[in-house]
Structure 1
Amino acid sequence: MSGTPLNATPPLTPAGDNPPDRREIRAVILGLMIVLGLGAIDQSIVATALPRIVSDLGGLTHLSWVVSAYVLASTSTMPLYGKLSDQYGRKPMIYAAILIFLLGSVLSGMAQTLMQLIIFRAIQGIGAGGLMPLAQIIIGDIVPPAKRGRNQGSIAAVFAICSVIGPIAGGIITDLLSWHWIFYVNLPIGAVALVMIGRALKRPHQSHSRRIDYLGAALLTACTTSFLLVLALGGNEWAWNSPEIFSLSALALVLCVLFVFHIRREAEPVLPPDLFHNRLFVVACIVLALTFMGMLGASLFFPLFFQMVMGVSPSHSGLLTGPLMVGVVISSMLNGRVLLHRFGRYKPAQLFGLGLATIAFAVLAWAAATSQGFWIIEPAVFALGLGLGLVMPTMTIAVQNALPFAHRGVGTATLAFFRSLGGLIGVTGSGAILAYRVQNAGGLLDGVHMSSLTEAGLKQLATASPEVHAAAIALYRHAIAMTFATGTVIVALALAALLFLPELPLATDHGGAATSRK
């Protein structure tokens, strides 16, 4: 099962008879680095500015939807970008993704209410859904798996470096100007990305007539949205046993059944069922979904923890979040340039990485719950980054190595879909945990209801009485510690799933899928 090739169509090779030379590969990789930097900087800047956004616009219980709307839109469009790039080419689709992303950035910067910001972030997410998958697909087109570790390591390093710069820039921009400007910074970066891609990506695309499964994409989006609304609103806006939650749950189930029935009958489904006959692909989707569920769900609250619990400024909270991505940079470079490139093995490093991430999450949960200082929290954040950097980049290489060229576009995009879906569930679930703890915090303290206090955010918290201030800090501390503990369990489950991942030899050319080691 692990070595089952997907032979629905004959294996294809990249466009052009001659393989790209090193100069062309470097030019393309440089352009893709700018594209990935665009998405990385945006996500980290927004995370740092979330407390200030909530302070200005209100609505702490809907905080996670500023991120969730973005991730939901990007997640839902990822498989469609893979299909469209197979038909119309990589270059037109990555152009479209960048332009939609920039439009959403401008609109988000102009938002005056939290609802406007959530809607505009969804538009931004539609564009972001093509950035990472298309970059990985293009790399898979031009670089054989055995040589891809160095390139993927460099891509991951640039992505991580931008994620380090983002919190710092976000804190500075938020302090000196306003949170509205964190979205406008995407415009010059996006312009550079468009120019670089236009110059670097020149290979002609071999056109293949494919039917685009718009109905499947619509069913997938509706099913995912319904499920996440249950997770976000249950126990918060509506009780878990309310008619609204029952109705949404039933709708999600019906849409899921319809989607499965549809893709089994559709000639070119948005998620081909044949992909799930490959054991490596299935295990990889499960591992990445669980990894991102734990990581993104907990790390969303790092800036909130540092600012509201530890009492630091937005710019300093960005610096304190930095060790996470510094760890990712170091381990990604080591993994891609040394371990994977020299030994051709990806599973041992992934096992060690997830084990380290599990331990780091457990330490963070304990440190948050027991009021430990930075001398424990910061090394744990760094260790978490080290562990995650050994897992994420090489999993894409493993999947692309296991699939024939004709299916690598949709396979890569589908892997990205499940990875982001896991992150989306983590973000929404963590937001639900925090909202539940806030709304059940014990009623009135000195005449101020805790949910009213946290709705107003940092401004009212700073002017509250010492008793109310201390109660609010304790509330945040224990709620965020709970998200870290949940992340520990989820990443441990990812480690258990990783044990079932087959180890395939990395191909040295662009031929068909690799077969399993016996």
Structure 2
Amino acid sequence: MEHLSYKRKITIMIAIIAAMFFSAINQTIVGTALPRIIAKLGGMDYYTWVITIYLLTSTIATVLVGKLSDIYGRKPFILTGIVLFMIGALMAGTSADIFQLITYRGIQGLGAGIIMATAFTAVGDLFAPRERGKWSGIMMSVFGFASVVGPALGGYIVDHLEWHWVFWIFLPLGIVAFIMILTMFPKVERKPAESIDYFGSLFLTLTIVPMLLAFSWAGTKYAWGSPQIVGLFACTLAALVIFLWIESRVNSPVLPLSLFKNGIVTISNVIGFIMNAGMMGALMYTPFFVQGVMGISPTYSGYVTMPMSIGMVVTSSISGQLITKTGKYKRIAIIGLAIMVIGMTIMHYMNTISVTVLSMVVFGFGLGLGMPVFSLTVQNAVSPKDLGVATASSQLFRSLGGTIGIAVMGTVMSTGMTNKLQEILASGRGVDLSKLDPKVAEKLAAFHNPQMLLDQPKLAQIQAALPPELQTVFSQMIDSLREALSYSLANVFLAGAALLVVALVLTFFLKEIPLRTGSGGQGPKPQEAAETDREPAPRLRGKQPANG
């Protein structure tokens, strides 16, 4: 679609941004509200599953749609993604228990994965790599804006309205996005002589699902060395071997192995994996600190995390403009990741709201600089015919990193809490229920749960209803829970910072090739555009293309 007029490209981008914003705002509005929703529905033990299932289904959808959209075009898939997302959101608002919420969030994840895969690939269809930097920055700004509006709105809704509206309030926007894509997005004919890799798709799914289940359950539901976890990893390995065998033999693989012979693609995807593991794994638990440890309501919790999103909006726009102007990206990525490390390290030392806000600002600045780069490097390093599947591979590795990161960080948090509570009890500062009257102990045992910290109004109501002789004991229990939660979250943020350091070091090994400027003006005819793009395009300082 690079041959289209600039005015038509802008029109298409407006439609794409509308679809992306619909998906992004529905995700960010849930983040701050989720602790309160879990407190209402019950099922604290399954908290990570509400997030994990979304990332799991979006990951699978992303990689499968990448290749299919190369064959059939982006339009039918982005429309399907919007419909699935709307159905999932509508049903999530009707959830009667945690298991229904998990199921419906899975449907939402399918829709989100399809929307994101096709949206980012469509930018590659529309613009030459040199121009993609600017648009990648704009798209990151859309996420940033959604992150500014969403958390505060989600907190307000659960504080003042029924939580169901968290999922329903933006459904009309989905209808608008659907109509805009339907009317503005051009239809692309199916490419001839392209087969669909059904078996590869099946075994890729069978590789991803047990792997993510193993990481989600290990250390929480089952021990790392338990038969269940070992069995899941064994299934993952077996499916992976079969998948690699299939991909090396089919004519049109769902995830071409030849992509990973390109050093730029490989190292960019590894960096994206590690970066998202550290970032998502830590940031998903930030509401626990703000609401559970500091006792801030969901509404004000959104205001505390808002500076991160504002910082991301500002720097993502700046980085996109710089990349488009200079054609360079490596230095920006290094600076961005270094700032992210500093921000995450500050999170480790959070003990007041002011320090929390400072960490959010610093991390947001780094995120806006570093995050847009690595999809751009992948798109710039492959030929146009592989644009969809290459972009999908980038999204796949990021999603896998985020999902695994959340699961592992959840293990870090629960293990840290258990150890700290035992330490507090051994030191004599905690409440030993075994030494209390059995009837009193039985009444208090129900409250010795970190989930209590996430619903402040209910906590105050329970404490007010207790008899005077239990007030001191109850307060001591809550203080112990807060101390244990704070300690465990500090470990989570430290682990996230360590992973970001690894990503930063790897960025120094990323080979930088100047971004192609593509054809100017109106561009060649559609059938000539792909051929033109396969020719050595003009590059800065006369350098030649490199495959890493």
For residue 111 of structure 1, give the secondary structure of its aligned residue in structure 2. Answer: coil
> Would the alpha carbon gap of residues 110 and 27 (structure 1) be closer, same or farther in structure 2, given more than 3 Å must change?
same
For the Cα contact (< 8 Å) 1:364–1:377, is it kept in 2? yes
Partner residue, 1:23: 7
Code of the aligned partner of 1:481: A
The one of 480, 490, 508 aligned to 1:481? 490
Q: Residue 282 of structure 1 aligns to which amino acid in structure 2?
A: T
Change (3 A) 1:202 1:118: same
Following the alignment from structure 1 to structure 2, what is the Cα–Cα distance between the partners of residues 231 and 214?
26
Q: Indicate the residue corresponding to 1:364 in structure 2.
A: 347
After superposition, where does 1:410-489 map in structure 2 within 5 Å? 410-440=389-419, 441-442=421-422, 445-446=432-433, 447=441, 448-449=444-445, 452-456=448-452, 458-459=454-455, 461-462=459-460, 463=462, 465-489=474-498
Deviation at 1:432? 2.1
Aligned equivalent of 2:356: 377
Alpha-carbon shift at residue 83 of structure 1 (Å): 1.5
SS at match of 1:129: helix
Deviations 1:127-149 (A, max 9, x none): 11111121111111111111222
* 1:487 CA displacement: 0.5
Offset at residue 115 of structure 1 (A): 0.8
TM-score, normalising length: structure 1? 0.92
1:262-281 to structure 2, matched below 5 A, reads: 262-281=246-265
Q: 1:451 offset after TM fit, Å?
A: 8.6
Quote the residue 2:277 is aligned against.
293
Q: Could you list the per-position Cα deviations for residues 54-112 of structure 1 after superposition, in whole angstroms to 9, with x for gaps in the alignment?
A: 21122222211101000000001111111121222111111111111111111111111
* 1:118 equivalent in alignment to 2:118: no
The answer on whether the counterparts of 2:348 and 2:490 sit within 8 Å (CA) in structure 1 is: yes
Q: Which has the larger radius of gyration?
A: 2
Q: Pick closer, same or farther for the CA change 1:222–1:455 going to 2, 3 Å.
A: farther
Find the counterpart in structure 2 of residue 254 from structure 1: 238
- Cα distance in 2 for partners of 1:249, 1:149 equals 38
CA gap 1:193/1:336 in 2 versus in 1, 3 angstroms: same
Q: Distance in 2 between matches of 1:205 and 1:146?
A: 26
Stretches of structure 2 that go unaligned for 5 or more consecutive residues are 426-430, 434-440, 464-473, 520-532, 537-543
Aligned ranges 1:186-265 → 2 under 5 Å: 186-202=170-186, 204-205=188-189, 207-265=191-249
Residue of structure 2 in register with 1:106 after alignment: 90
2:73 and 2:187 in contact (8 A); partners too:
no
Given the two structures, how large is their TM-score scaled by the length of structure 2? 0.87
Deviations 1:477-504 (A, max 9, x none): 1111111001000000101111111111
Q: CA deviation at 1:461?
A: 4.3
Q: Which amino acid aligns with 1:499?
A: F
Q: Show the counterpart of 2:528.
A: none
Distance 2:55 2:316 in 1: 23
**What is the aligned partner in structure 2 of residue 343 from structure 1?**
326
Identity of aligned residues (%): 34
Q: What is the CA distance between 1:172 and its match in structure 2?
A: 1.2
Larger relative contact order (CA 8 Å, sep ≥ 6)? 1
Question: Offset of 1:376 from its aligned partner?
Answer: 2.0
Task: Tell whether 2:180 aligns with 1:184.
Answer: no
Q: Is the 8 A contact 2:448 2:477 kept in 1?
A: no
The more displaced of 208-217 and 351-360 is 208-217
Structure 2 distance, partners of 1:265, 1:486, is 40
Mapped to 1, the partners of 2:547 and 2:256 lie a distance apart of: 25
How many angstroms apart in 2 are the aligned matches of 1:89 and 1:386?
35
SS of match in other structure, 2:19: helix
1:400-419 to structure 2, matched below 5 A, reads 400-419=379-398
Whole-Å separation in 1 of the counterparts to 2:343 and 2:297: 24
CA displacement, residues 204-244 of structure 1 (integer Å, 9 cap, x when unaligned): 43533422222222222222221222222222222223222
Given the alignment of the two structures, is residue 77 of structure 1 paired with residue 61 of structure 2, yes or no? yes
Amino acid at match of 2:123: I
Distance 1:205 1:433 in 2: 49
* CA shift for structure 1 position 266: 2.3
- Residue 319 in structure 1 maps to residue 303 in structure 2: yes
Cα 1:232–1:485 change in 2 (3 A) is same
Any idea what the Cα deviations from partners look like across 1:286-311, whole Å, max 9, x if unmatched? 11111111111111011221111111
- SS of residue in 2 equivalent to 1:507: coil
Where does the alignment leave 5 or more consecutive residues of structure 1 unmatched? 1-13
Looking at structure 2, the residues matched to 491 and 85 of structure 1 have their Cα atoms a distance apart, in angstroms, of: 32
Q: Give the whole-Å Cα distance in 1 for the aligned partners of 2:301 and 2:320.
A: 30
**Residues of 2 paired with 1:230 and 1:450: CA distance?**
30
For the residues of structure 2 that align with 1:210 and 1:318, how far apart are their CA atoms? 47
> Partner letter of residue 73 of structure 1?
T
C-alpha separation in 1, matches of 2:242 and 2:482: 46
* 1:245–1:517 distance in 2 versus 1, CA, 3 Å: closer
**Is contact 1:226–1:251 with CA below 8 Å preserved after alignment?**
yes
SS in 1 for 2:372: helix
Q: Greater CA deviation, 54-63 or 345-354? A: 54-63
How far apart are residue 267 of structure 1 and its match? Answer: 2.1
The alignment partner of 1:353 has SS state of helix
Are the equivalent residues in 1 in contact too, given 2:304–2:356 (CA < 8 A)?
A: no
Counterpart AA for 2:243: F
Aligned to 1:515: 545
Q: Partner letter of residue 416 of structure 1?
A: Q
What is the rounded CA distance, in whole Å, between the counterparts of 1:408 and 1:215 in structure 2? 22
1:453 Cα deviation after fit? 1.7
**Residue 390 (str. 1) matches residue 369 (str. 2):** yes
* Helix, strand or coil at the partner of 2:177: helix
- Contact preservation (8 Å) 1:290, 1:491: yes
Asked whether the 8 Å contact 1:145–1:508 carries over to 2, the reply is yes
AA aligned opposite 2:339: L
Give the letter for the 2:502 counterpart.
L
User: In the comparison of the two structures, how many residue pairs are matched?
Assistant: 497
SS of residue matched to 2:240 = helix
Q: Which residue of 1 aligns with 2:499?
A: 490
